[in-house]
Structure 1
């Protein structure tokens, strides 16, 4: 077998190949970021909100919704990790983005585990055991802390995305994420306000029932008749 060597210079399109590689990397990071936003910007917060504000509406609905949103968030998170790992060929564990992401994922993974071992729920009208109260506080706190790390991970991810993409687009995405968080926080504050009003009404109603319970039948009839005349 013979090889012929040419003295003519050959053009190698290194710039074209580099540009294509950068485009592929940008697409990989964009898909990864989109999946992570769906998980940590929509599904996980939605699961926390359902557990916080829907318990009084339907005891079974809020729990199913909470589980569905949290497990969906975990599933999409792992899809996002696979996308990034396959596209980048591995992870840089010295990166702040990866560190925040690892903490957020480990905390979120601990939630279904400690949920499996949760103490028995008290019956209606009963006071929960100390173990149940401690578990509820710990479960809620871990969920909120993991969400905080996840949101920080979104911002650090946008920073890394800016290193391989147009910085102007990344700046718009960052401000869009800030706006989304502010809108979400405003909505949560609104729900908290409604929850406080609901609890106040229930407390006033309970106190009124207790006071009426001290009246005898004749006094109760007189009170109701007076109320009807008003």
Structure 2
């Protein structure tokens, strides 16, 4: 049946909506990570796929050509500072759980000394030293640009191979805050940075986030931090407070001594467990060395071990060497407390947990410090009053021979 002009006019809006509905999926496929992608909208619209990556506010725009196994891509992210860098990489390791930054074949974009944005390739074999080098993948057409707001876009083409595509590509992405003499510096170690990896399926247009291996390592790092914070950072200072102040009161003898030994020995055992966990983490993280934290930990463990063995050589109170043993014991004790607290803060800076953990430890140390100051005042008041009382009750010309109890 023939349609009249009136019927055609009525059908036009319906036809227009149908046409628009066919266009919407294409438009939406270009709009992932709209905030990051907006400055480069014209360039990234040429790619057939768009993925929001799981961390660092990054996005990947790509086209895969199966005829020659070529991956054309634009990686978009914002570095932490205007002098920072961004990186996208492939890791050929067949195990996705361990295919992280070590072994990554990376392209990194940053501003050179003249202010021009450059791209360079890096075969990342160590966290401590990243130097420009050829990579295992053939790559070309590498470009980069920076938009208003510091957003950067890194573009390149990779020859990836059909077999690798079939298994899934292990991608790694990252952002860093500084470049020194043309060399990208270490990025932050926040949770988002550690999880910036996953498996990319270029055929289906999907990507998974980081594997379980990193999650297990993060758990061990947290255990290491908690054990050391409790032992060296809290229990040892508490044991020193018990020994220094409770012994002033005769009624606390010998309870203070057993409490002191219990605190210090328990702290040592827990600290050794934390130290062993740190050794395990170091063995699993080749190329990652936190020199100050490691060296302080070694000294701390060694001095604490000497302190424990010193208990076996503790002279009796009236022994002529007891005075020198006390100097040795007290000096090492205060040194252990100072080193322990410093290294706990070093570890917190490395782990970079939520601020509540750092603030919680600061509060704990502040409370112990406040208690120590209060007890110091009370102890000296008791000692001075005791001395004054003995001076008024003793016959003229007699001396106390230094027998009054005084703070350690």
* Aligned pairs for 1:1-230 within 5 A: 9-12=165-168, 14=170, 15=198, 16=208, 18-55=210-247, 56=249, 57-90=251-284, 95-122=291-318, 129=320, 131-162=321-352, 169=354, 171-210=355-394
Asked if the contact 2:282–2:289 (Cα under 8 Å) also holds between the matched residues in 1, the reply is no
Greater fraction strand:
2
- Cα distance, 1:156 vs structure 2: 0.9
Instruction: Out of 79-88 and 190-199, give the one that drifted further.
Output: 79-88
Structure 1 unaligned segments of length 5 or more: list them: 1-5, 123-127, 215-230
> How far off its partner does 1:119 sit?
2.3
Is the contact made by 2:234 and 2:365 (CA closer than 8 Å) also made in structure 1? no
> Number of aligned pairs?
197
> Partner residue of 2:79?
none
Question: What's the Cα RMSD here?
Answer: 2.8
Please give the per-residue CA displacement for 1:135-162, whole angstroms capped at 9, x wherever unaligned.
1122111011011111111011112112
Q: CA deviation at 1:46?
A: 1.7
Larger radius of gyration between Structure 1 and Structure 2: 2
Deviation at 1:197, TM superposition (A): 0.9
1:93 Cα offset (Å): 6.0
- Taking the aligned partners of 1:7 and 1:184, their CA distance within structure 2 comes to 61
Assess, with a 3 A threshold, how the Cα gap between structure 1 residues 23 and 88 changes in structure 2: closer, same or farther. farther
Quick check: 1:93–1:99 contact (8 Å CA) kept in 2?
Answer: no
The Cα of 1:24 is off from its aligned counterpart by 2.0
| Alignment CA distance shift 1:193-1:75 (3 Å) | same
Q: Answer yes or no: is the 8 Å Cα contact 1:43–1:70 preserved in 2.
A: yes
- Bigger mean CA offset, 39-48 vs 55-64: 55-64
